[in-house]
Amino acid sequence: MRPRTLIYVARELQASLAQNSPSDPDCLIIDLSLGALKMQLINFYNVIHPEDPNSILTILREDILPTTLYDSSLLLGDFNTHHPWWDPLRPQSTHAIHLISYIENHSLRLLNKIGEGTFYRSNMSTPSVLDLSFATSGIVTKIKD
């Protein structure tokens, strides 16, 4: 199956596929270096493979997300998950508990503005918040919107 996540990296950065990057088309982890700064980017797409009848949501797959994170890590992507923490106008997704547990266990900070839509369709009365960005405490103060 072809990858469904992608990360573009500026030429001045040194990037490599992380050793802990899973063999899953819906999660890509890279290590980045810029001088003394070492960080990890985790691009995540939470979805079921429509062509695989046994497929489960990415967030529910074994060992999909790393168990340890760099002090400077970003977790971002299309999480297809509703939760009042980032989308107070929609009911919570049943699988949100798995994402919330991971976020809390790794003390991640939400970078999105609460309630600011990231997904729009003409038939929707309000935008939905599905694309999320989280950072570890070691990098959160270095991020500018």
What is the percent of the chain where pLDDT is above 90?
74
Max Cα-Cα span within the chain: 47
List residues bridging with 29 in a β-sheet. 42
Domain 14-140 listed as CATH 3.60.10.10:
yes
| Mean pLDDT along residues 17-40 | 92
| pTM of the predicted model as reported, rounded to 2 decimal places | 0.92
Cβ contacts of 104 within 8 Å, gap of 6 or more: none
Sheet holding 37-45, edge to edge: 14-17, 27-34, 37-45, 73-78, 131-135, 109-110
Give the pLDDT confidence of 101-124 residue by residue, as tens digits. Answer: 999 999 999 999 999 999 998 988
Q: How high does pLDDT run on average in the chain?
A: 93
Per-domain boundaries in the chain: 14-140
